[in-house]
Amino acid sequence: MQFLELKIPPPIVALIIGILMWCVCLIAPSGSVPTSARLSLAAAFAVIGLASAVSGAIAFRRAKTTTNPLKPGAASSLVSSGPYRFTRNPMYLGLSLVLIAWATYLWSVWALAGPLVFVAYIRRFQIAPEERALSALFGAEYGEYQTKVRRWL
């Protein structure tokens, strides 16, 4: 399955999964929760997720390194500031939280599979090859960073 590595941009993966979550909810039963509570919780997850993803992208821009997730070997610097002090993958974490927000909005136990599928896919087909590329580029510096900062949280 190595042919899937670094092939689909993570935002597209999230979009596809989000659409599939919605489709599942059209055919599977949903729970009922007051709309205001559901929307408030979904909004909170979405805001936190968007803030995480945007702050990660801003940190990359400030470091003048590539934000292209399909070309991790083109990284010109190892970013360990901003949100990268707390998670090695704030952009993917942010997309995961947006999918959790979407599952909350849909309020279906079946929709919760979406964020889990996203994390599993991203971990295998995006993060693993990125980590190999960054290890090759930055060696011990990246290894030390990996020991200090968790992959997700």
Q: How confident is the model at residue 33 (pLDDT cuts 50, 70, 90)?
A: confident
d(CA 122, CA 41): 25
User: Are the C-beta atoms of 100 and 114 separated by less than 8 Å?
Assistant: no
pLDDT at 28 (0 to 100): 84
Identify residue 122 by its one-letter amino acid code. I
Alpha helices in the chain, H assignment, sequence order: 10-27, 35-62, 90-106, 113-122, 128-148
Domain ranges of the chain: 34-148
User: Are the C-beta atoms of 89 and 133 separated by less than 8 Å?
Assistant: no
Q: How confident is the model at residue 18 (pLDDT cuts 50, 70, 90)?
A: very high
CA dihedral 24, 5, 15, 60 (to 10 degrees): 150
Least confident of 34-43, 66-75, 112-121, 126-135: 34-43
User: Are the C-beta atoms of 79 and 65 separated by less than 8 Å?
Assistant: yes
Q: What's the length of the chain?
A: 153
d(CA 78, CA 70): 16
Higher-scoring residue by pLDDT: 87, 37: 87
- Cα–Cα separations (whole angstroms), residue 129 to 34, 39, 115, 132: 42, 36, 20, 5
Give this prediction's pTM: 0.95
CA 68 to chain centre: 14
User: Are the C-beta atoms of 94 and 51 separated by less than 8 Å?
Assistant: yes
d(CA 21, CA 15): 10
The closest of 108, 110, 114, 111 to 32, measured between CA atoms, is 108
